[in-house]
Amino acid sequence: MKTSTALALLAASGPVTASVVRPAAEQLAKRALATSDPYYPSPWMDPAADGWEDAYAKAKAFVSQLTLLEKVNLTTGVGWAAEQCVGQTGAIPRLGLRSMCMQDSPLGIRGTDYNSVFPSGQTAAATFDRTLLFKRGNAMGQEAKGKGVTVLLGPVAGPLGRMPEAGRNWEGFSPDPVLTGIGISETIKGVQQAGVVACAKHFIGNEQEHFRQTGEAQGYGYDIKETLSSNIDDKTMHELYLWPFQDAVRAGVGSFMCSYQQVNNSYSCQNSKLLNDLLKNELGFQGFVMSDWQAQHTGAASAVAGLDMTMPGDTEFNTGISFWGTNLTLGVLNGTVPAWRIDDMAMRIMAAFFKVGQTVNQDPINFSFWTSDTYGPIHWAANKDVQQINFHVDVQGGHGSLIREIAAKGTVLLKNSGSLPLKKPKFIAVIGDDAGPNPLGPNACSDRGCDNGTAGIGWGSGTANYPYLVTPDAAIQAQAVKDGSRYESILTNYANSQTRALVSQDNVTAIVFVNADSGEGYINVDGNEGDRKNLTLWKNGDDLIKNVSSFCANTIVVIHSPGPVLLTEWYDSPNVTAILWAGFPGQESGNSITDVLYGKVNPSGRSPFSWGATRDSFGTDVLYEPNNGNDAPQQDFSEGVFIDYRHFDKANSALTYEFGYGLSYTTFQYSNLKVRKSNAGAYQPTTGTTAPAPTFGNFSTNLNDYVFPSNEFPYVYEYIYPYLNTSDAKAASADPNYGQSADQFLPPHATDGSAQPLLRSAGKSEPGGNRQLFNVLYTVTADIKNTGSVVGDEVPQLYVALGGPDDPKVVLRDFDRLRIDPGKTAQFRATLTRRDLSNWDTTVQDWVISSYPKTVYVGRSSRKLDLTATLS
Ligand SMILES: *[C@@H]1O[C@H](CO)[C@@H](O)[C@H](O)[C@H]1NC(C)=O
Ligand SMILES: *[C@@H]1O[C@H](CO)[C@@H](O)[C@H](O)[C@H]1NC(C)=O
Ligand SMILES: *[C@@H]1O[C@H](CO)[C@@H](O)[C@H](O)[C@H]1NC(C)=O
Ligand SMILES: *[C@@H]1O[C@H](CO)[C@@H](O)[C@H](O)[C@H]1NC(C)=O
Ligand SMILES: *[C@@H]1O[C@H](CO)[C@@H](O)[C@H](O)[C@H]1NC(C)=O
Ligand SMILES: *[C@@H]1O[C@H](CO)[C@@H](O)[C@H](O)[C@H]1NC(C)=O
Ligand SMILES: *[C@@H]1O[C@H](CO)[C@@H](O)[C@H](O)[C@H]1NC(C)=O
Ligand SMILES: *[C@@H]1O[C@H](CO)[C@@H](O)[C@H](O)[C@H]1NC(C)=O
Ligand SMILES: *[C@@H]1O[C@H](CO)[C@@H](O)[C@H](O)[C@H]1NC(C)=O
Ligand SMILES: *[C@@H]1O[C@H](CO)[C@@H](O)[C@H](O)[C@H]1NC(C)=O
């Protein structure tokens, strides 16, 4: 989401083709634009879906009592800044249900206080540790719960990381879909076990910041009429971008957020192919879909295309009007939006709510996103009803030690010629702006939108306010004092003569801290509109390293960054004796890196992305300039599944460091690979049909019953309600086109509530797709021996070659993190499911195992594949 209010007026609904956009003739002449096939009707919930039975029983009991106005209240946000959270729904006072609170972010609670700042998703992914990923999610869920948050807006699998420059990659996990799938699933389970609904976002193809919103693009000088279109073919969609979202559905996620940009020239929040077909039918998603903030562009059309909740509810921030609210009430009353569809929306929202254990009489929301003042207006935009709105509840729950552990275990040792671990070094010189504090405080820049001092996280809505930030300078100095080491630091990159004088002294261990930063598109930092404009280090980091290492034979480099940076100019210098990637570690930054530098934590992080030698070598890049006149910029994902290591392997090009790579202070030996086949039986495609769409309760069609009850409570300025301001429908709607019937502007079958065929790839009541896709076909084991002298964690990785001419050389399929004592051997055990061995067959529309010979590998990175076997 974003906070800028300077936005172009969005097109009103008009004669909407919800999914098919027909480009004008002259554009067609220029280039044939990608299109998206219509898919209707919107699949309704399945009360018997695995894991959702109790939730749906409770939802049915609740929703059956609701009036139409109350149902609409559940689906529609009350407007930007209308209540305390970044988004809130209407309430149901009659039944004691308070408004639901939607709050950022994927690494903590945004915009409040006495909360923790966790390591970024990407740093957590680098642990390759399911338990830590779960614990991080669970701790974030507990903090959200303690503030009264209903839905925590994360975790992220879009962006996946198609382009290393993309601004928000650090919010997610990894460009590898399996690692991201495990990251998103464990996080979801953790958040939801704490009683808070998780939100898988941004669905889908949200791979860059540039041109995701028209108003934002105007802010940096481009007048485009529609947002970027990510054009993704069906096979790439399934094998790469949809894969982790499938895992999210399987993990029982309660909500999804559709994204700002278009896919195949149809807006994600009204793309029926995405929401109705892929998400709700094929994957069998049973929760609700909310829009990203202002990502809704139509009313009835988005409803029948599968959107269930509009956020923050107004068409644009603070217009006081909505595509839903009044319009949705009218749309149901006049028959455009079928009654079963609004019932389905309400059921999905309430089922997600009950699934995580929430109850109707929830505890209150006890913070305000809009101010840190204790007292203020509860309706912030309207400046109305001053009361205590911040209770400053401390929800940190001692999570600092977990944060420290995750960041240390997510730190990747890229190079070590023997200088690490440090053992009471005689003299340490720490150099660099990135080792020190922001002189104006860790929260000085709004949403962390600057790069001053150490980079603990990136910028944008995916952030939280620091309760404290332990800098590398403070933590290493404390250790040095304890050890009796001499310690000096120079916390700028630009004190050349002083730095030179310091690091030229005898017996110095120089530790240079450098960074790169990125974030969300509504903030520009140093010319970076969210997306990075280059892959080099910021603030002359390369020069700093080269200068220090030209005078100091023991130069250790620590990098904080949102992905790869180019190390080419200095990484192989003999004077650069160690390189560490510490990601975005969160509030315990200094403690975590000190633990690794001194060997309290034996490094075992693995790079969740590849480090190319040049920017071009990555093969993909952000689209920085519109390429379709004033119409939607077109981004063709023509590389298919070949991003990150799959691309480098295909191009057979050299890498500085590869995906999955990372060193330890000990050594490991791999042996004894065994592959055991399980008898899963032949795949049975799903057949049959759904039940017809159910409805719950009935409603009055007398428009007088829907008029704003001004005798009951006062209208709040700019607030979005479900009511009509007059019993004249056309006047209440204020839509000049009001009166068109469904068949005039909705696609065929949009209102059809009859039983529908089940897809062969979908299960029967199986969220995540046909359960046979997850049958284990092979179990793989190998012995891993610690051949060094200290205890350490090793991350054995299972890769597969699917064998076809269009398949990547290898793809990651499983991994584990094993703690092994010196001299001891541990067994690595991993599994291969049917999906793991299949390709998406675009003709059959299902996962199919090809006849090409398949090979399995167990190794320590995507390019160090120690053990190999062919599959029978
Ligand atoms: C986008 O177009 C491609 C090429 O026709 C097609 O394979 C794919 O399914 C489309 N995706 C969506 C979401 O419409
Ligand atoms: C809708 O929600 C608002 C608060 O957001 C509440 O004031 C109103 O009473 C609700 N309407 C109904 C019909 O429950
Ligand atoms: C803060 O919110 C939580 C969760 O709703 C609640 O349990 C707690 O009582 C609230 N505290 C205050 C001081 O309002
Ligand atoms: C209903 O939606 C239309 C756009 O489709 C908008 O112009 C109108 O203002 C909306 N009405 C209300 C009451 O929000
Ligand atoms: C029904 O209501 C919707 C939403 O306001 C509107 O777009 C549509 O034109 C109306 N149709 C009829 C037939 O009144
Ligand atoms: C903080 O960073 C901004 C650029 O992001 C820079 O203009 C400003 O001078 C910095 N402030 C301090 C105190 O370093
Ligand atoms: C550097 O260390 C060596 C070995 O410990 C020692 O002999 C030498 O005197 C030291 N030099 C300085 C300037 O401390
Ligand atoms: C890359 O961008 C950063 C941040 O804006 C800037 O400091 C650096 O100078 C740029 N690098 C090059 C080579 O232009
Ligand atoms: C590196 O050294 C050169 C030559 O002394 C100097 O001009 C430059 O400013 C130095 N750069 C940094 C970042 O220290
Ligand atoms: C390494 O450092 C020494 C000073 O200890 C210096 O003389 C030498 O030139 C440096 N080598 C490189 C390749 O920078």
Residue 532 near residue 524 (C-beta atoms within 8 A): no
Q: Span 49-116+140-164+182-229+243-360+692-745: which CATH code?
A: 3.20.20.300
Q: Quote the CA–CA distance of 861 and 415 in Å, as a whole number.
A: 15
Q: What is the CA radius of gyration of the chain?
A: 27
Residue 596 near residue 578 (C-beta atoms within 8 A): no
* DSSP letters for 559-591: EE-SS----TTTTT-TTEEEEEE-----TTHHH
> What ligand has the least distance to the C-alpha of 146?
3
Q: Is the C-beta atom of 505 inside 6 A of ligand 10?
A: no
Task: Give nearest CA residue, ligand 5 atom 7.
Answer: 738
Tokens 């590998």, located at residue: 857
Q: Where are the alpha helices (DSSP H) in 290-338?
A: 300-304, 326-333
| pLDDT for res 872 | 84
Per-residue model confidence as pLDDT tens digits over 341-392: 999 999 999 999 999 999 999 999 999 999 999 999 999 999 999 999 999 9
Per-residue model confidence as pLDDT tens digits over 778-805: 999 999 999 999 999 999 999 999 999 9
| pLDDT for res 743 | 85
> What ligand has the least distance to the C-alpha of 83?
2
Number of H helices, E strands in the chain: 21, 33
Q: Is the C-beta atom of 427 inside 6 A of ligand 7?
A: no
Per-residue model confidence as pLDDT tens digits over 93-130: 999 999 999 999 999 999 999 999 999 999 999 999 99
Where is 813: in which H helix or E strand? strand 811-815
Res 860 pLDDT > 90: yes
Q: Is the C-beta atom of 336 inside 6 A of ligand 5?
A: yes
- Compute the CA torsion angle 254, 258, 263, 265 (nearest 10 deg): 140
Residue 690 near residue 46 (C-beta atoms within 8 A): yes
Residue 539 near residue 433 (C-beta atoms within 8 A): yes
Q: Where are the alpha helices (DSSP H) in 25-153?
A: 25-30, 53-63, 68-75, 121-125, 130-147
> What ligand has the least distance to the C-alpha of 433?
6
Tokens 């680098």, located at residue: 126
Average pLDDT for 237-253: 98
Res 5 pLDDT > 60: no
| pLDDT for res 19 | 36
**Of 517, 526, 546, best ligand 8 pocket probe by most atoms within 8 Å of the beta carbon:** 526
| pLDDT for res 741 | 86
**Of 703, 738, 744, best ligand 5 pocket probe by most atoms within 8 Å of the beta carbon:** 738
* Residue 452 CA, ligand 6 centroid: distance in Å: 6
* Residue 138 CA, ligand 7 centroid: distance in Å: 50
Q: Quote the CA–CA distance of 626 and 799 in Å, as a whole number.
A: 38
Res 6 pLDDT > 80: no
* Residue 124 CA, ligand 3 centroid: distance in Å: 29
Q: Where are the alpha helices (DSSP H) in 495-540?
A: 496-503
Q: Is the C-beta atom of 496 inside 6 A of ligand 9?
A: yes
Per-residue model confidence as pLDDT tens digits over 605-657: 999 999 999 999 999 999 999 999 999 999 999 999 999 999 999 999 999 99
* Residue 402 CA, ligand 4 centroid: distance in Å: 48
Helices 496-503, 541-551: inter-axial angle, 10-degree rounding = 40
Amino acid at the residue 407: A
The contacts of residue 93 (CB under 8 Å, 6+ apart) are none
> What ligand has the least distance to the C-alpha of 20?
1
**Closest ligand 10 atom to 550 CA:** 14
* Residue 493 CA, ligand 6 centroid: distance in Å: 13
Tokens 């030229």, located at residue: 504
Fold of 670-680+775-870: Immunoglobulin-like (2.60.40)
Instruction: Provide the terminal-to-terminal Cα distance of the chain, rounded to the nearest Å.
Output: 49
The contacts of residue 32 (CB under 8 Å, 6+ apart) are none
The contacts of residue 81 (CB under 8 Å, 6+ apart) are 312, 317, 318, 370, 380, 381
Task: Give nearest CA residue, ligand 7 atom 5.
Answer: 507
CA–chain centroid gap for 123, Å, is: 13
Q: Quote the CA–CA distance of 871 and 333 in Å, as a whole number.
A: 59
* Residue 540 CA, ligand 10 centroid: distance in Å: 20
Q: Is the C-beta atom of 575 inside 6 A of ligand 10?
A: yes
Active site residue 292: yes
Strand partners, 782: 828
Task: Give nearest CA residue, ligand 9 atom 4.
Answer: 547
Per-residue model confidence as pLDDT tens digits over 840-855: 999 999 999 999 999 9
Q: Is the C-beta atom of 709 inside 6 A of ligand 5?
A: no
Res 729 pLDDT > 70: yes
Looking at residue 639, what DSSP letter applies? T
Where is 168: in which H helix or E strand? none
CA distances to 173, 246, 363, 685 from 133, in Å: 10, 18, 27, 33
* Residue 32 CA, ligand 1 centroid: distance in Å: 13
Structure tokens at 165: 């420059």
Percent of the chain topping pLDDT 70: 96
CA–chain centroid gap for 849, Å, is: 30
* Residue 335 CA, ligand 5 centroid: distance in Å: 8
288 exposed, middle or buried (CB, 10 Å; 0-12, 13-18, 19+)? buried
Residue 505 near residue 426 (C-beta atoms within 8 A): no
* Residue 38 CA, ligand 1 centroid: distance in Å: 11
Q: Is the C-beta atom of 679 inside 6 A of ligand 7?
A: no
Q: Is the C-beta atom of 493 inside 6 A of ligand 8?
A: no
Average pLDDT for 397-423: 98
Residue whose C-alpha is closest to residue 768's, from 833, 695, 817, 830 = 833
Task: Give nearest CA residue, ligand 1 atom 4.
Answer: 233
Strand segments, DSSP code E, in 381-520 are 384-388, 412-416, 427-431, 486-490, 508-515
| pLDDT for res 12 | 27
- Domain residue ranges in the chain: 49-116+140-164+182-229+243-360+692-745, 403-600, 670-680+775-870
Q: Is the C-beta atom of 195 inside 6 A of ligand 3?
A: no
How many C-beta atoms surround the C-beta of residue 25 within 10 A? 8
Q: Quote the CA–CA distance of 767 and 247 in Å, as a whole number.
A: 9
Residue 182 near residue 247 (C-beta atoms within 8 A): yes
Structure tokens at 415: 């190079």
Tokens 């990075």, located at residue: 532
Q: Quote the CA–CA distance of 839 and 243 in Å, as a whole number.
A: 12
Out of 104, 292, 542, 649, the active site residue is 292
Q: Is the C-beta atom of 26 inside 6 A of ligand 7?
A: no
Residue whose C-alpha is closest to residue 803's, from 837, 835, 834 = 837
Residue whose C-alpha is closest to residue 243's, from 325, 301, 186, 185 = 185
Structure tokens at 635: 């981004």
**Closest ligand 1 atom to 266 CA:** 14
Q: Is the C-beta atom of 740 inside 6 A of ligand 5?
A: yes
Q: Which residue has the higher pLDDT, 569 or 745?
A: 569
> What ligand has the least distance to the C-alpha of 21?
1
Strand partners, 783: 671, 827
Q: Quote the CA–CA distance of 739 and 745 in Å, as a whole number.
A: 11
> What ligand has the least distance to the C-alpha of 739?
5
The pTM of the full predicted model, rounded to 2 decimals, is 0.96
Per-residue model confidence as pLDDT tens digits over 665-692: 999 999 999 999 999 999 999 999 999 9
Tokens 């990555």, located at residue: 618
Tokens 């990098």, located at residue: 559
Q: Is the C-beta atom of 569 inside 6 A of ligand 8?
A: no
Q: Quote the CA–CA distance of 669 and 860 in Å, as a whole number.
A: 10
Query: Is the CATH number of domain 403-600 3.40.50.1700?
Result: yes
pLDDT averaged over the chain? 95
Tokens 């190079």, located at residue: 415
Task: Give nearest CA residue, ligand 8 atom 3.
Answer: 538
Q: Quote the CA–CA distance of 312 and 331 in Å, as a whole number.
A: 20
Task: Give nearest CA residue, ligand 6 atom 3.
Answer: 450
Amino acid at the residue 310: T
How many C-beta atoms surround the C-beta of residue 468 within 10 A? 12
* Residue 12 CA, ligand 4 centroid: distance in Å: 8
Task: Give nearest CA residue, ligand 10 atom 12.
Answer: 550
Structure tokens at 89: 């729904």
**Of 737, 740, 751, best ligand 5 pocket probe by most atoms within 8 Å of the beta carbon:** 740
Strand partners, 669: 785
* Residue 359 CA, ligand 3 centroid: distance in Å: 15
